[in-house]
Amino acid sequence: MKVIVVGCGRLGSELAYRLGLRGHEVSVIDNVPAAFQSLPTDFKGRIHEGDATNQEVLHRAGIEEAGALAVVTNSDALNMVVGHLARKIYHVPQVVARNYDPQLRLLFEAFGLQVISSTTWGAQRLVELINHSGLHAVFSAGNGEVEIYEFMIPDTWDGRSLENLIPCEECVVTSLTRAGRAFLPPRNFVLQTGDVLHVSASFDGVENLGDQLRPVGGE
């Protein structure tokens, strides 16, 4: 697939390189010539110096044939404008934009763009690691508003009911694995130490679940 990456900073250069390794035909756009030095020496894609809001620059990068475009500069305004052009003017099937300032994320959503906010996502991961070391996120949707967590049932919940562990509507059981077999347990299912539970939860939901799993006294 032909993919255009707009912005060749640390994120853009890493993204372009990884896409190239996966066999995609990658074009990178940046208006600062020195930015292309961030690309690894074995990068196989094409580079295009210029303003990504300029239609001639986008044309040289092959936007008419692009299957995807990622705009990942450190300018939210530029990311929104280029993302909007790619979707509405050139009808690129898959457009993803970087959100640099979390306070501007609603504007990206108003443009109907798929948006990744590394600041919001990273902060939430750090909170989870600090507060809930026993819960491991295995899948993240959006910017982490909903995630699937994996954890092992501790001794303190042996013989207790699943519905008492997951009383919050912000948590939904995805699967339970016992002795290597995964299934969808009923709410009154009796847990055993060592059961592996996968739960889909919002941020508030995982906070609630973490409190449930935390031993009395916070030990």
pLDDT in tens, 146-191: 889 888 898 999 999 999 998 778 999 999 999 889 999 999 999 9
Q: Which domains does the chain have, with CATH numbers?
A: 2-119 (3.40.50.720), 126-218 (3.30.70.1450)
Predicted confidence band at 215 (pLDDT cuts at 50, 70, 90)? low
- Residue by residue, DSSP assigns 20-56 as HHTT-EEEEEES-GGGGGGS-TT--SEEEES-TTSHH
Torsion sign over Cα 97, 101, 104, 109: positive
Mean pLDDT for the chain overall:
89
Distance CA 167, CA 179 (A): 25
| pLDDT tens-digit series, residues 47-75 | 999 999 999 999 999 999 999 999 999 99
Closest CA relative to residue 16, chosen from 51, 57, 48: 48
**Cα–Cα distances in angstroms (integers) from residue 57 to residues 9, 45, 94, 151, in the given order:** 18, 16, 19, 49
Residue 120 scores a pLDDT above 80? no
Radius of gyration, alpha carbons of the chain: 22
Q: What is the pLDDT of residue 47?
A: 97
Q: What is the pTM of this model?
A: 0.66
